[in-house]
Chains A and B, each alone.
Chain A
Amino acid sequence: MSAAVETNPQVEVVSRIEVDRSAEGAVTIYWASALFWLTIATIAGLISSAKLHSPDFLGNIEWLTFGRIRPVHWDTAIYGFGGTAASGTLLWLQARLCQTRIPFPALLIAGGVIFNVGILLGSIGVLMGQSTGVETLELPLYAMPLLVIPYVFIVIANFKMYFTRKTSHTYVSQWYLMAVTVWFPILVLSAEACTNLGAVDGVAQAIANWWYGHNVVGLFATPTGIAAAYYLIPKVIGKPIHSYHLSLLGFWSNAIFYNWAGTHHLTGGPLPAWTITIGVVGSLMMFIPVITIGINHHMTMLGSFHHLKTSPTLRFAVMGSMIYTLSSFQGSLESLRSHQEITHFTHYTIGHVHFGMYGFFAPLMFAMMYYAMPRLTGNEWSSARLIRIHFWCTLIGMLVYAISMCYAGIRQGMMMNDPTAPFLDIVRFTVPFLWIRTLGGLILFAGTIAFLINFWRIVQPHRLRFVTPTLMTTERDYNMLLNKEKELEQNDK
């Protein structure tokens, strides 16, 4: 019974160590792939971004034309980075919270390899011009089984852990993890059936496409991110999460409303009015879960902000949860018809997507990695400076990107709605902002490189061993902490 576990810290530590040891191979391979694909996606994003302000950059190479490198950017970001980072999180978090070992780790490791092969083949297919032409589902059909099969392993592993858990209580993160486990396969299979397999066509297919396009963020990335925040924030600061009742309200309202929001991507298009109306209501009602989750995360943090100074995990987790609140508010308002009239079809949408994905989801995945990797490998992060660089580059680069794109998008939309503005003038107006976007992307890339170096060092077997945690303190702070510890030790004696 769990009471024994909770009251006996020694035993809890042993159980943790066992869980982490069983998870080491599978989770590390998923997270290492996540970083690999994040790098690829960032490079592909930078190329696409540069091509928009300088169309002759790498011009006349058909493989790298904007219309091909751009889907490769998004697919490697959402499946390559998002899929693998979330899979690692699903496995490790579920194992930790169920206090069970990860089942069949060898199969999961094999799954990780297959998944990577799938993304690689799919991306090359898109670059060769075999894209299916359905946004977010561009990867050619032959790559899809390679992505689905590994995910089936993860689903089974998750169900197995959840139904054989050793704890009596289901923590809120687990609800989200189980929800993702159920949602994602249904999501992918029904979307593939409706689009690339041709069950429906025309406008119904467009709706299915955007139902998926929105839900792959809303029912896959977002719940994983929220689960990570729900785990990491109370874990690092050692306080219980603010309110169980709010968790419950937040989870179920999220589950009910998010599903319906996708059609706002086609506002004004050839859709029956009622489908868009439902999309708008679904998006606006997201205020309920977002506020609920916001209260829960931020109220838990209240009074513990000083931990942000030293804990890398907490910095990324709090950045993620704060931007979750902001970007969700932005997204809800964006769905309104009067707002869409201006910002639909503009760079505003691109700004919003990156604000959410790189401001909320990615930092929470980074936080997971910063927290779990030392436990999985038995090594510590080698450099606090690199962590600092990673954090500030992520925050600043993402803000530069999102603010420039959202501002440019609003102006672009207003000009487009003014029929006297020649179209080429609008294009010329956006070009400086597209340059700023490339700058933002470069800053993000610098952060990614810093993280890559750190990650590369931590997975080296027993090369660098530290027994103290890597804290983001200056040398002075560190010495002060050390002295304080010595003082306390002497007092104890």
Chain B
Amino acid sequence: MKSDQPNPEFRRAPELQDRILEMHSAAMREMSEPRDGIRPTPVTFLILCFFFTMWGGYYIGAYGGDWTGTGMNEKAGAAAPVASAPQNPMALGAEVYNACTQCHQADGKGLAGQFPPLAASEYVTGDERRFAAILLNGINGDFVVNGQKYNSQMPAWKDNYNDEEIAAVMTYVRNSFGNKAAPVSKQVVEAVRKEVGANGPWSESSLAEFAAKK
């Protein structure tokens, strides 16, 4: 059927036309189908497009990395950022301590029966070598703190933190939650790491053995 010919049914019943047209008043009143205008494209916009395209080419060229499947740095040959300068141990320690709050909680009180407290704990304020050893290698199994028995795992942090960071969090914990003890120096951690850094997690007895050795 050609579009300029009305539907034959429609033609056959002229008396219906008015009714039908009324039914379709919405279609009657509408404007004709949209058309395209032919205003020219603004020249300034074309210039803008040109600069966008230039920028796109530059960005691909400059930040493509080495275009391999394992080239993770957008700037080819860029070195990994270097470690930052030493920081105030209490501030750095507070930052590192965010990783400890899962178990030992923000108030250092731990969770009764499951995770031991750091507040008023002999292991924290006592021998700094032993404390460093716990942080480096973690603990697995039964463990008594302040007369209460715990049985859980503590992760080894030796791969996650360097000596400075471990010393800082030790200093922080030894001087927070009501604790008061001397700050820990980086060298202590370094020495303990050298001595036992390759071992697995401690048990209560192996830790006691290590602490007694000295």
Query: Interface of A with B (CB < 8 Å)?
Result: 2, 4-6, 8-9, 11-18, 20, 96-97, 99, 166, 169, 171-173, 230-231, 234-247, 249, 253, 270-274, 276-278, 280-281, 284-285, 287-288, 291-292, 295, 299-300, 337, 374-375, 378, 380, 419-420, 422-424, 467-469
Contacts and interface: CB of A to CB of B under 8 A. Distances in A.
A454 to B, nearest CB: 15
A11 B6 contact: yes
B4 A273 contact: no
Contacts of B21: 13
Contact of B41 (A12, A245, A374, A469): A245
A171 to B, nearest CB: 6
Contacts of A238: 31-32
A380 B29 CA distance: 13
B44 to A, nearest CB: 11
Interface in B15-37: 20-37
Interface stretch (B90-98, B117-125, B183-191, B197-205): B90-98
Interface in B37-90: 37-42, 45, 48-49, 52-53, 55-56, 59-60, 63-74
A241 B35 CA distance: 6
Interface of B: 2-4, 6-7, 10, 20-42, 45, 48-49, 52-53, 55-56, 59-60, 63-74, 91, 94-95, 98, 101, 106
Contact of B26 (A11, A239, A424, A469): A469
A375 B91 CA distance: 69
A154 to B, nearest CB: 22
Given A273-B72, A284-B52, A420-B98, 12 more contacts: A97-B33, A235-B33, A243-B41, A249-B49, A273-B64, A273-B65, A274-B65, A277-B63, A277-B64, A280-B63, A292-B45, A420-B95
Contacts of A234: 34-35
Contacts of A5: 3-4
Contact of A245 (B38, B60, B73): B38
Contacts, number: 162
Given A11-B3, A284-B52, A6 B37 contact: no
A280 B59 contact: yes
Contact of A420 (B26, B52, B74, B94): B94
Contacts of A240: 34-37
B213 to A, nearest CB: 36
A468 B25 CA distance: 8
7 contacts: A12-B32, A240-B34, A273-B64, A284-B56, A285-B53, A292-B45, A420-B91
Residue picked from A253, A281, A337, A469, most chain B C-beta under 10 Å = A281
Given A246-B41, A419-B95, A375 B64 contact: no
B52 A288 contact: yes
Contacts of A337: 74
B4 A8 contact: yes
Q: Which 5 A-B pairs have the closest CB atoms?
A: A273-B65, A234-B34, A244-B36, A238-B31, A374-B26
B23 A285 contact: no
Contacts of A231: 34
B34 A17 contact: no
Contacts of A285: 52-53, 56
A326 to B, nearest CB: 18
Contacts of A273: 63-66, 71-74
B27 A272 contact: no
Contacts of A270: 72
Contacts of B4: 4-5, 8, 11
A380 B27 contact: no
B100 to A, nearest CB: 11
Nearest to A96: B33
Residue picked from B7, B22, B27, most chain A C-beta under 10 Å = B27
